Amino acid sequence: MKMRKIAFLALLLMAVAAVAAPLKNMPVKVVQPSGDTLYCLASGDEYYHYMHDAQGYVIVQDEVTGYYVYARLNEKGRVVPTPHVAGMCVPAELGLVPGIMPSKEYLQECRSAYEIPQKYAKNGPKRLGNPMSVVNNIVIFIRFSDEGRIPNSFHSVDSMFNDTAANAVSVHNYFKSSSYGLLESYSYFTPAAIGDSIVSYKALHPRRYYEPYSSQNPDGYVGDNDRRAREFTLLQNAVQWVNSNAGVDRSINLDVNNDGYIDNVTFVLSGTYTGWSGLLWPHQWSLYDRTVMINGKRVWTYNLQLAGSGDHYFGASTFCHEMTHSLGCPDVYHYEDWTNVSPAGSWDLMCGN
C-alpha cells in the first residue's frame, strides 16, 4: 500500500499544459452552403482533430467557398482542400488517399499553440504545494447568445460528478477508487440549479464567434492567438458573472494545496464539439494571461466540457480524464504519426477513456 501511495502522489506532481482526451469516429453533422447536410465522423484530440468519412478520407472546409471538401497533403505536409465536394464524388476514383495526417512539424506546431509562455508559467501554480486529499471542483455552465437554456437534466450531470453510491460511475467514485482512498473529488455547481433545470451564463456572442473563420462564418476567429483570446475572455466573463450574481460558497476550500490557485474549475459549454480543429473540443488548460479571482483565489487550471456531445463524450469518463490532467498526469496514448499502437488501451483512462 505504501508504494501505491507514493506512485499516486508522484503522478500529481507532473506538470502539463493543455491536454485532452482522444476521440475516434464520432458522428458530426455539418451544413454545406447549398443547404445540404453532410454526415461524417470526427477523430483526434484537442491538439489536432479532423473530420473524415467512413472510409477515412479526410474532409476540410474550404475557407474561400465555405464547402466541406475532401483533402490532400501538399508538398509541405499540410492538409489542404481539393475542389471535390465531400459526399458528391468517390474519392478513391480521384486518386485521393484515406487517413492522411500532417507532418510531424505541423503537429508540433499544433501542440505548441497550447503551451504556457514562459513569462506566464514562471508565475504559475506551485505544483509542489501541500498534498491534496480532496479536490473541490467548481462547475459553471455557459450557453451562447443564440441559444436557449441548456437542456440537460441537472440531476443526471450532478450524478456523473458526485454520485457516491456503490458501483456508481462518477468522478467521485473514480478518484476515490483509483487512489486507494487517498483522494476524493466533490463538484459544486454555481449558480445552483432550479429544480432539475441548469442555470447558465449567457455569452455575449453566438456560437459561430467561437468557431473558425470561413467565407460562411466571417465572425469566426483567425489563428491561435485569436482563438485563445476568445476562449479566455468567455471564461473570464462567466466567472465575473458568477461572482456578481451567485458567488461561490466561501465555506468551500477552493485551494486545498494552498498555493493561491483554485484547484480546478469545470466550464460546461452548450452544444457539441466542432468537427474540424477549434476551441469547441473538451480539454484542460490554464487561464494564464489574465487574473480572474473567486473568493480571493485565482482561476488557473480548468476543464472545458460540452454538454451536447452525447453519452459518448459528455460523461464521467471524459470528466475524469480531464481532471486527471488537472492533477498533473499526462496522456499515455501515442500521438505522433497517429500510429495504431495503443500502449495501455482501455486499461488506462489516460490512453482510452
Rounded distance, CA 279 to CA 285, Å?
A: 11
Residues of the chain with pLDDT > 90, as a percent, come to 59
DSSP character string of 27-94: EEEEE-TTS-EEEEEEEE-SSSEEEE-TT--EEEE-TTT--EEEEEE-TTS-EEEEEEETTSS-GGGG
- 3-class secondary structure, 284: strand
pLDDT of residue 123: 58
Distance CA 31, CA 67 (A): 9
Rounded distance between C-alpha atoms, residue 144 and residue 202, angstroms: 6
**CB proximity list for 107: less than 8 A, separation 6 or greater:** 47, 48, 101, 335, 336
pLDDT in tens, 33-63: 999 999 999 888 777 889 999 999 999 999 8
Chain-centroid distance of CA 334 in Å reads 18
Give the per-residue pLDDT at 60. 93
Phi then psi dihedrals of residue 347, to 5 deg: -75, -20
Give pLDDT tens digits for 191-247.
999 999 999 999 999 999 999 888 888 999 999 999 999 999 999 999 999 999 999
In 3D, which of 22, 12, 28, 64 has the Cα closest to residue 44? Answer: 22
Residue 1: pLDDT above 50?
no
pLDDT tens-place string over residues 241-275: 999 999 999 999 999 989 999 999 999 999 987 76
Contact assessment for residue 312 and residue 26, using Cβ atoms and an 8 Å cutoff: yes
Q: What is the pLDDT of residues 132-183, one digit of tens each?
A: 799 999 999 999 999 999 999 999 999 999 999 999 999 999 999 999 999 9
Give the CA count within 13 Å in the CB-facing half-sphere of 247.
6
Asked if 170 and 159 count as a contact pair (C-beta separation under 8 A), the reply is yes
Cβ-defined contacts of 28-34 (< 8 Å, 24+): 28/273, 28/275, 30/61, 30/68, 30/275, 32/66, 32/67, 32/68, 32/85, 33/65, 33/66, 33/67, 33/216, 34/67
Q: Are 308 and 271 in contact (CB under 8 A)?
A: yes
Q: Which residue has the cell 456572442?
A: 205
Q: From CA 217, how far away is CA 65, in angstroms rounded?
A: 11
163's grid cell:
454520485
pLDDT of residue 336: 55
